[in-house]
Amino acid sequence: MSHPTPDVYEQGKGMDAHNQVMREIRSRKEASYDPHEPTRVWLDEDNTPDGVKRSLTIILNTGGCRWARAGGCTMCGYVAESVDGGSVSHEALMDQIDVCLAHEAENGDEPADLIKIYTSGSFLDEREVGAESRKAIADTFADRERMVVESLPDFVDREKIADFIRHGVDTDVAIGLETATDRVRHDCVNKYFDFADFEDACAEAAAADAEAGGDADAGIKAYLLMKPPFLTESEAVADMIASVERCAGVEGCHTVSMNPCNVQRYTMVDDLYFEDGYRPPWLWSVAHVLRETVDVDAIVVSDPVGHGSDRGPHNCGECDDLVQKAIKDFDLRQDPSVFEQVSCECERTWEVVMERERSFNQPLTH
Ligand code: SF4
Ligand SMILES: [Zn+2]
């Protein structure tokens, strides 16, 4: 029997096919942004291993994710090239940081303890944020308690994390793992790396933590995607429970943030949604996973974006705000009894969906 070579497999199939479709979808969007302005900045509160902290969240505009340029993940609406030329200078990045500091000074009573920096890509990728900018940003926030920076696992290494922890700032790297199941990550999300790469990144964080010798902590925050396309509600729930458990079992990973998929424009999920091929997860599913994984050795949180809308995670429309509030309470207190106080008739519908939804196609004739 002959076996196809990897090249043959790649052409027009699997990831290559997903990437072709995603490139076509993304090319429908034409946008360019000012490289001196961050994409977004806001103040909030977050649960950390040291308790609930006031946080400043920054989305830096860095030219976008390399993987998105190749096609990228099926649910991700981040622009492939968010600035003309595809990269942002050190000076422009520092201007963005100044805008964020001004926003904080204007809207907060005092400096936030926790700084979270996302880039619609990888903060630790030196093609997005060079070493000079990374070190300057670490210096800027040297007086804070904790930093979170986002990165794909390939770019995580102990020296880069050391730029932050040598200031005595606890540092977490947020990794968009999406799921612990390689098959689902590759085929449903179209994300290229393996769980083993995530484990390697956790080991780098654990090494940085050990080298810091108690002056500061380093760890990994895993971001999971609840209900990528092509899974039924019950498959998505089972995949999330298994994923939370596997992540919590990896040394160096102390927090799991499970985020329900929402339908972003210019994505494959968006195309499927318009063809009635995708529904974002039920909020009951989110609550169910949080309840089922309450005993794992990690903080487990969820932040349903766009809850209650058709394009976001939702229940029946009547109970969405209540369930969302219970999820937010759970994030801060990690107490599953918050879900006992919410109920709605639509929970029965969700149970039927969990039991009967099938992902394979139904033949129209016999
Ligand atoms: S989800 Fe992350 S890795 Fe995937 S395309 Fe978007 S920014 Fe890139
Ligand atoms: Zn309801």
User: Can you tell me which atom of ligand 1 is nearest the CA of 178?
Assistant: 1
Residue 255 Cβ < 6 Å to ligand 1: no
Query: Which is it for strands 253-260 and 51-59: parallel, antiparallel or unpaired?
Result: unpaired
CA distance 206 to 202: 6
For 54-104, the pLDDT digits (tens) are 999 999 988 777 788 888 999 998 765 445 556 789 999 999 999 999 999
Distance (Å) from CA 228 to ligand 1 centroid: 13
Extract the tokens encoding 206: 């654990």
284 lines ligand 1 (CB under 6 A): no
Ligand 1 and 118: CB distance under 6 A = no
Residues 285-326 have pLDDT tens digits of 999 999 999 999 999 999 999 999 999 999 999 999 999 999
> Cα(60) to centroid of ligand 2, in Å?
37
The ligand 1 atom nearest the CA atom of 191: 4
Q: What is the mean pLDDT of residues 13-27?
A: 82
Residue 117, beta-bridge partner list: 58, 149
CA-nearest residue, atom 2 of ligand 1: 121
Query: Which of 29, 59, 75, 78 has most ligand 1 atoms within 8 Å of its beta carbon, as the pocket-test mutant?
Result: 78
Predicted pLDDT at 363: 76
Q: Under a CB-based contact definition with an 8 Å cutoff, are residues 283 and 347 in contact?
A: no
Task: Give pTM, 2 decimals.
Answer: 0.89
State the CATH architecture for 6-356. Answer: Alpha-Beta Barrel (3.20)
Mutate which of 156, 188, 191 for ligand 1 pocket (most atoms within 8 A of beta carbon)? 191
Least confident of 62-76, 99-113, 184-198: 62-76
Task: Give residue limits of the domains in the chain.
Answer: 6-356
Checking DSSP bridges between strand 218-226 and strand 299-301, what pairing results, if any?
unpaired
Q: Does ligand 1 lie within 6 Å of residue 68's CB atom?
A: yes
Please tell me the predicted confidence (pLDDT) of residue 213: 87
